[in-house]
Structure 1
Amino acid sequence: MNRLTNKQLGNTVMTIGINQLLDDMSISIIDIQQALSKHTFLNYGELCKEDIEVNNSSIKNDLGTVMSKYFINNICIWIITYLNDYTVILLPSEY
């Protein structure tokens, strides 16, 4: 598999922190869309080897979570997919 399916991604939501960054124009919706696209195509951004292995195991078993970590304008964001349920875009402090 070279991408997450729509079923695996589920609905996508953003947290209050991400919405505030969008309102403040610290990041743009295009930045968020690009990060979500990378996540969907299994580009996990700035993850360590162990986290990538966990992601790959989750995808293989179609169970668990898939996480990505990106920096947009020096702001760290996470995207976490709870496979076959939903995907959340958040700040690490909101986890």
Structure 2
Amino acid sequence: MKSAKFSLGQVVATAGALEAIENASQTPTEFLVQHAAGHWGELCVEDQEANNEALKTGARLLSVYHLADDTKIWIITEAADENGQREATTILLPSEY
């Protein structure tokens, strides 16, 4: 991804999130691109600041988006390991957390 601020690692999604995205006639990629670029979606200022700090420290990253039909999805990228690598990013519904 061109403007990515961090590596997503392996991308996975829950069945519920994939179904919701498909039902809204959207694709996971449009949200993953925003997430990787540091556009955190609908987070409060404190959570946006926490994500921006996590870019420096390697902590977990969270983005929140609403689909076209107003369904909320989360994208979570796991904290970096001791080598600074982020292993996985998960797309899920809040109810699946």
Letter of the structure 2 residue corresponding to residue 91 of structure 1: L
1:1-95 to structure 2, matched below 5 A, reads 3-6=4-7, 9-22=8-21, 25-30=22-27, 32-61=28-57, 63-73=58-68, 74-83=70-79, 84-95=86-97
More helix by share: 1
Q: How many residues align?
A: 88
1:29 CA drift (Å): 5.0
5+ residue gaps, structure 1, are: none
Cα-Cα RMSD: 1.6
Q: TM-score, structure 1 length as denominator?
A: 0.82
- Aligned-pair CA distance for 1:35: 0.7
Query: Contact 2:20–2:71 (CA<8 Å) still a contact in 1?
Result: no
Aligned equivalents of 1:40 and 1:12: distance in 2?
12
Task: Calculate the TM-score normalised by the size of structure 2.
Answer: 0.80
The answer as to whether partners of 2:6 and 2:55 remain within 8 angstroms in 1 is no
Say which SS state the counterpart of residue 23 (structure 2) adopts: coil
Report % sequence identity.
Answer: 38
Shift of 1:76: 0.5
Runs of 5+ consecutive residues of structure 2 not aligned to the other structure: 80-85
By percentage of residues, which structure has more strand?
1
Alpha-carbon distance in 1 for matches of 2:61, 2:5: 9
